[in-house]
Structure 1
Amino acid sequence: MKNKLHVEIFGHRYTLRGEADEAYAKELAGYVDKKMTEMAGHAKGINSSKLAILAAINIAHELFQLRSRQKERDALIGGKTRDIIESIEEQFEEFKLD
């Protein structure tokens, strides 16, 4: 069942419909509001539509940075996991030879 809730972003009220938890949806809206407010501080006199685009670009940039870091971590973990498995296999080979 879809929930309906109201949030305020940058002085405008929006109705959201979805299956997300209300607290989570409000947290997301609060984050977008915060980003738009930050952008407004750097870009005086810009209309709210352009401000929303700048905030979206900023949020997308954060997302891409996090994805990149996650890929790096995954590669590091994968490498360490392979090293551990190889070490364990070597230990088993030594037991077989004895």
Structure 2
Amino acid sequence: MSNHNRTTVHIFGQQYTIIGEEGAGHVNKVAEIVDKRMREIRQQTNNLDTKQLAVLTAVNITNDYVKLQEKYRQLVEKKED
């Protein structure tokens, strides 16, 4: 049976309870990144509602993730050569 932890975080002025296997430190770090990115995007585009802002933030963070995956793949390939 997996161990589920509950962590309460604040993202863009809203409180969320996250339930999962990760510890509170990890969940808080993730929430801080999401909150920071939402605030950065809000400063650049002030006319989005919260839902649009959340989707744009998800797209931006996923873009970063995909780029990191590609860099990782390239490093693994380079190491294997």
TM score, norm. by length of structure 2: 0.93
Inter-partner Cα distance in structure 1 for 2:38 and 2:30: 12
| Two-structure CA RMSD over aligned residues (Å) | 0.8
Task: In structure 1, give the amino acid aligned to 2:58.
Answer: A
The answer on 1:60 being equivalent to 2:75 is: no
Moved over 4 A (4+): none
1:76-87 correspondence runs (5 A): 76-79=78-81
How many residue pairs align between the two structures? 79
**Does the alignment pair 1:72 with 2:74?**
yes
Q: How does 1:25-44 map to 2 (within 5 A)?
A: 25-44=27-46
Gaps of 5+ in 1: 80-98
More helix by share: 1
Is structure 2 residue 21 aligned with structure 1 residue 19? yes
In the TM superposition, what is the alpha-carbon distance from 1:45 to its structure 2 partner? 2.4
Q: TM-score, length-normalised on structure 1?
A: 0.77
Higher RCO (CA 8 Å, separation ≥ 6 residues): 2
Distance in 2 of aligned mates of 1:15 and 1:50: 21
3-state SS of paired residue (2:48) = coil
